[in-house]
Amino acid sequence: MGEFVRLETSDGIGTIRLDRPPMNPLNTQVQEELREAAQAAAADPQIRAVIVYGGEKVFAAGADITEFTATTYQEMTVRAGALSSAFDAVARIEKPVVAAVTGYALGGGCELALACDWRVVADDAKLGQPEIRLGLIPGAGGTQRLARLIGPAKAKDLVFSGRMVDAEEALRIGLADRVVPAADVYASAVELLKPYLNGPALALRAAKLAIDGGLSTDLASGLAWESQLFAGLFATDDRIEGTTAFVEKRKPKFTGR
C-alpha cells in the first residue's frame, strides 16, 4: 500500500505492517500511511480482525526526532492534530485489534500499541514514553490512553520519568496482555484473534463501541449508549442465528450480517 506501511490480508486477518528499517521511526509519511492502512482495514468486510506489527526485531522505537529539531510551535499546532488522529484511526477500527510487539515500543510506538485492544509482547521487549527526556510530553494518546489503561498513578510514573519497562513489568501493570518468546509474538497474536474470525461481527463491533465510548462519558450516558447498541443488534441476522442456535442446542453459524 505505502512505502513504509502496508496492509496484508490472510484468512480473515489484516496485518498492518510497519517496515521502515532499522527501528520503524514514525515520521509524517509513516503517520499518513498508517492512517490509510487503518481506514482500509476498517472498510474491508473480508478482514474480521487486525494485527499491528513492526516485524521480528522491533515494533516502533518512536517518532523520527530529526523532524522535531527544526519544527516551530506554529508548525506543530497544525501537525499535532493530524498525528493524533492517525493513531486514532487505528483505535477506531471497529474490529478486534492486537499489537504484536517485538523489540521496542517507545514514544509513538508505545502510543500505537495503546491504540490497539490488546498487546502481545515479546519477553525481551521494552516499552515506554520517553518524551519527557526531550522536554516534551506524549502527543498521540500517551497521556490519555495510558492513564485509562493502567491508571493515572502508574501512567504518571512512566510519563514523568520517561523510563522504559520490561515485558514482566508491562504485564504486571496491565500494559501488556500476553508475554511470549520473541519468535512467537506474531503467531500468538493470530491465536488471540482466531476465536473472533467467525464470530458475530456486528455484535463484536457494538461491544467495542460500547466499551470505548463508555470510557469517555459518565455512567448514565454510557448505559444509554449501551442500551442503544444492544437494541440495534436485534436487527441483525446473527442475533436471530445466535438465539435460535441456543434454543436448538447447537453451535451458531454466524455470517457477520
Catalytic residue among 49, 99, 107, 131: 131
Residues 99/52, Cβ–Cβ less than 8 Å: yes
CATH code: domain 201-247 is 1.10.12.10
36 is catalytic: no
CA distances from residue 181 to 90, 97, 108, 171 in whole angstroms, order as listed: 25, 20, 23, 14
Q: What is the pLDDT of residues 70-125, one digit of tens each?
A: 888 988 888 888 889 999 999 999 999 999 999 999 999 999 999 999 999 999 99
pLDDT for residue 69 = 82
62 is catalytic: no
Annotated domain spans of the chain: 5-197, 201-247
pLDDT for residue 63 = 79
Q: Which of 112, 104, 103 is nearest to 50 (CA)?
A: 112
245 is catalytic: no
pLDDT for residue 164 = 97
pLDDT for residue 231 = 96
Fold classification of 5-197 (topology level): 2-enoyl-CoA Hydratase; Chain A, domain 1 (3.90.226)
Q: Which of 149, 148, 104 is nearest to 128 (CA)?
A: 104
Cell of 251: 453451535
Helices H / strands E in the chain, number of each: 10, 9
Cell of 55: 516485524
Cα 218 to the center of its chain, rounded Å: 23
Catalytic residue among 111, 115, 142, 203: 111
Q: What dihedral do alpha carbons 199, 200, 205, 207 form, nearest 10°? A: -90
Cell of 81: 492534530
Catalytic residue among 63, 86, 189, 206: 63
Q: Which of 142, 172, 171 is nearest to 158 (CA)?
A: 142
pLDDT for residue 100 = 98
Catalytic residue among 14, 55, 108, 128: 108
pLDDT for residue 83 = 86
CA distances from residue 8 to 134, 186, 207, 239 in whole angstroms, order as listed: 35, 13, 25, 30
pLDDT for residue 81 = 87
63 is catalytic: yes
Intervals of the chain under pLDDT 50: none
pLDDT for residue 162 = 97
pLDDT for residue 71 = 85
Element (H, E) at 51: strand 49-53
pLDDT for residue 62 = 84
DSSP 190-226: HHHHHHHHTS-HHHHHHHHHHHHHHHTS-HHHHHHHH
Query: What is the pTM assigned to this prediction?
Result: 0.94
